Structure 1
Amino acid sequence: MRAREFNFDGLVGPSHNYAGLSFGNVASFSNVKSASNPKLAALQGLAKMRALAARGFGQALLPPQDRPNFRLLRSIGFTGSDADVLAKAAREAPVILACAYSASPMWTANAATVSPSADSADGRTHFTAANLNNKLHRAFEHEQSARSLRAIFHDIDHFAVHEALPGTPAFGDEGAANHTRLCKDHGSAAVEMFVYGRTEFDASASAPRKYPARQTLEASQAVARLHGLSAERTVYIQQNPDVIDQGVFHNDVIAVGNGNVLFYHDQAFADEAGSLDTLRRAMAGVGAELNAIRVDTGAVSVADAVASYLFNSQLLSKDNGKMALVIPQECEENAAVAAYLQGLVASGNAIDELIHFDLRQSMRNGGGPACLRLRVALTDAEAAAMHQGVVMTEALYHTLVAWVEKHYRDRLDPSDLADPALAIEVHTALEDLSRILGLPNLYDF
């Protein structure tokens, strides 16, 4: 059956800020407490969506989440009016206030794991909202993520949206950032690859020593069960614990795949040879041959890969049978990465084009092109059944640019998080956005 891949990019919210909350994310930590530009961040993201939609790629958006998270603040004892809550949190627990204002929902690769209808037992597209329980500032996101997904994919004949897994360490789930679908084409049955960092119930298994492994094997297995995936077409691969300790907090910082192509660093997996062999055998079962594009450490070090976010890129299928690699501008500014990419495009392999974007506001907070998007392969009937108000068009682009220009600040300092006016501005902006997108009950204000 014919299917097309849509990328749902996160629309950056009005309170985009650099709080440095994500231990293990080198870029996030490096820019802690510096001033941000929410307006520029949103416009950069919209420019990317517009350009890819104009090229004919399936492009849509996921709306930002409401901020600050008053539910979090009130659940830990801050009381009174909204202004009182903000003042008390700023005075007594400024880090927790920063958590309540986290900009991280913009990275929708962590919103959920998605299994297209061609892979599931009941023939529906399945979503499981990620619990993101490794970090306080992300642990509440799944509630609005599931709400937004249900609003967009509301037709239960075509879609199933599951709640997040139990919020315990055993089921640490970071969503599609640790999930890759490999196939002959988007409409046919595929191999779903889950990459995990640790195993909860096997004390002898290797694990990183410096930074946390956020995805567990047990969580990946649970998502596969919920989605009704075939055991023969589901592969579990352990991420190399040493690269997690070098700042590779998700698999999508060290590998990216699309169609039958897996673009990966030679240090990505704990057992490179065994992982590739397992993938090749599974893909043979769906009539596809794995095209593994290996980047050697001698050409691009892990440090350069993390600094440039070479692998936190998008692989997009083109009409000519080749693929475009969507990269951040930082890849062209890193000498080793730029030299590698020039050779890659000239090599005649599957990737024959580079598309770069200035996403510096997102990059400084620790997320590149792949972090910003959730991939959803949809048949024509499924694409027609989803809510159309979030599909990127030229008209929607211009409407959203005007909305950003109206509601967003062009500078946000850490001290601004205590300002009650900022919370009101965000609330007002999101009420306006829900009207623009045609999703009147999107937020539980």
Structure 2
Amino acid sequence: MTLVEINFDGIVGPSHNYAGLSLGNLAATRNAGATSYPRAAALQGIAKMKTNMAMGLSQGFLLPLPRPDTAWLEELATDPDTDPALVAGAWSASSMWTANAATVSPAPDTADGKCHLTVANLVTMPHRSHEWRDTLAQLRLAFADDAYFAVHDPVPPCFGDEGAANHMRFAGQHGEPGLEVFVYGRPGGQFPARQHEQASRIVARKHGLDPARVLFVEQNPEAIEAGAFHNDVVAVANETVLFTHQHAFADPRSTYDTIIARCPGVQVVEVPADRVSLEDAITSYLFNAQLLTPPSGEMTLVVPEECRDNPNVWSWLQDMLAGNGPIRHVNVVDVRQSMANGGGPACLRLRVVGDPKTVDPRFMLDEAKAEKLESVVSEYWPEAIDPAQVGSEALAADIREARSKLMEILDITELG
């Protein structure tokens, strides 16, 4: 069995809108009330997946969740006239950011030799707190072969867990045993610390990880206050490289030293704050990038267009490429619709190390399937959603039909 990294991107759902529901996510709150473009958003995401496939990488996808979630509104006894934020929460397309779908520990790291996935509870934000049931059903379908996968229920909701966005892994190669790093925040600041330390520890125990190959690290409170609501907004790892902002961690020197001691050969590419400020890093999403190893072996950083738009960020990237560091290429992708709602290239994908042959093939992407996705999106996804339309029965019917057509063309009908 050949283990490779598979990126599972979330297909942007037809209800994609800018309701500004995510406290601490500055892009989302800044663009609250703007008109969104779900069709363009989904096509941008598919184009990004195709770009990664063109590099020779394995690519999967996860489906949008059923929206609007009327069962959730009924559970909350919601009055649409007096609870507009809850109505908007039922329409949210935030499951597109599959980095928050689950935390994943590859088979070489776990006691039973299976790939373990724990669905995130996402309890900190009401509009995301009801995602986990449908996400869990989808994960159990995509990774149904229990000879290779174990899919777990969420951590109890008293502990906030936001999934792989706060998890990094270091290994010589993806298929080798690695060091798993869980990054948590401490409460008490202006913005909520979404990943709780105890949630991370529970996930590590569920996955049967060797304590000697697990590290728990505190995120820098300054970064959270600046708008880095997840660790992947200020740091990303791939194999033996940590690409990080100087102010990503509460104790950066100790973090680097411990990672290198436990996983010799790790190289730290630290971006100094005097070249790229936290504000520059967060507005450009320099670190919310995909750091990938294509078959060529030349590590590639996939960044959003906003990085090219920021002179400080782009200048630093050019200097990095001119050097002899481990990151050899920078690919720029257009995911502006996702970025405007607070999610970059890394937010859109869940990394799973496994053999693609063990995954339900309906969730694996190829060129023919990508064309099918583009066809359905182009025909059925709303072109634009004005905030005033959220709650409209006519639009809700269109959104349900769009998702139904997608599942029909993919022959994934079990999810309803």
Q: Structure 1 residue 123 and structure 2 residue 101: aligned?
A: no
Q: Structure 1 residue 179 and structure 2 residue 201: aligned?
A: no
Amino acid at match of 2:147: D
- Which residue of the partner structure matches residue 233 of structure 2? 253
RMSD after superposition: 1.1
- Which residue of the partner structure matches residue 317 of structure 1? 293
- Which residue of the partner structure matches residue 176 of structure 2? 188
Which structure 2 residues correspond to residues 27-426 of structure 1 after superposition, within 5 A? 27-78=27-78, 88-89=79-80, 91-168=81-158, 171-198=159-186, 207-284=187-264, 289-379=265-355, 383-426=356-399
CA shift for structure 1 position 437: 2.2
Unpaired stretches in structure 2, ≥5 consecutive residues: none
Distance 2:293 2:269 in 1: 16
**Deviation sequence 1:82-106 (CA, Å, 0-9, x none):** xxxxxx51x2211111111112100
Alignment check: 8 A CA contact 1:208 1:244 kept: no
Alignment check: 8 A CA contact 1:117 1:125 kept: yes
Amino acid at match of 2:335: L
Secondary structure of the structure 1 residue equivalent to 2:45: helix
CA shift for structure 1 position 352: 0.9
Distance 1:27 1:109 in 2: 17
Secondary structure of the structure 2 residue equivalent to 1:368: coil
**Deviation sequence 1:315-341 (CA, Å, 0-9, x none):** 010333320000000000000000000
Secondary structure of the structure 2 residue equivalent to 1:418: coil
Amino acid at match of 1:245: E
Distance 2:151 2:191 in 1: 31
Alignment check: 8 A CA contact 1:208 1:245 kept: no
CA shift for structure 1 position 426: 1.8
CA shift for structure 1 position 138: 0.4
Amino acid at match of 2:252: E
Alignment check: 8 A CA contact 2:57 2:295 kept: no
Distance 1:335 1:266 in 2: 19
Distance 1:12 1:231 in 2: 37
Q: Structure 1 residue 9 and structure 2 residue 9: aligned?
A: yes
Alignment check: 8 A CA contact 1:110 1:174 kept: yes
**Deviation sequence 1:6-61 (CA, Å, 0-9, x none):** 10000000110000000000100100011100000001001111121122111111
CA shift for structure 1 position 436: 2.2
Distance 2:188 2:229 in 1: 10
Distance 2:154 2:71 in 1: 18
TM-score by length of structure 1 reads 0.92
Give % identity. 45
**Deviation sequence 1:106-163 (CA, Å, 0-9, x none):** 0000000000111110111100000000000000111111111011111111111101
Amino acid at match of 1:44: Q
Distance 1:114 1:425 in 2: 34
Distance 1:208 1:2 in 2: 45
TM-score by length of structure 2 reads 0.98
Distance 2:329 2:65 in 1: 34
Alignment check: 8 A CA contact 1:20 1:31 kept: yes
Distance 2:45 2:297 in 1: 27
After superposing on structure 2, the runs of 4+ consecutive aligned residues of structure 1 that deviate more than 3 Å are: none
Distance 2:210 2:19 in 1: 41
- Which residue of the partner structure matches residue 408 of structure 2? 435
Distance 2:363 2:262 in 1: 35
CA shift for structure 1 position 351: 0.7
CA shift for structure 1 position 269: 0.4
Amino acid at match of 1:312: N
Distance 2:151 2:403 in 1: 23
Distance 1:321 1:291 in 2: 16
Distance 1:219 1:346 in 2: 41
Unpaired stretches in structure 1, ≥5 consecutive residues: 79-87, 199-206
Alignment check: 8 A CA contact 2:56 2:295 kept: no
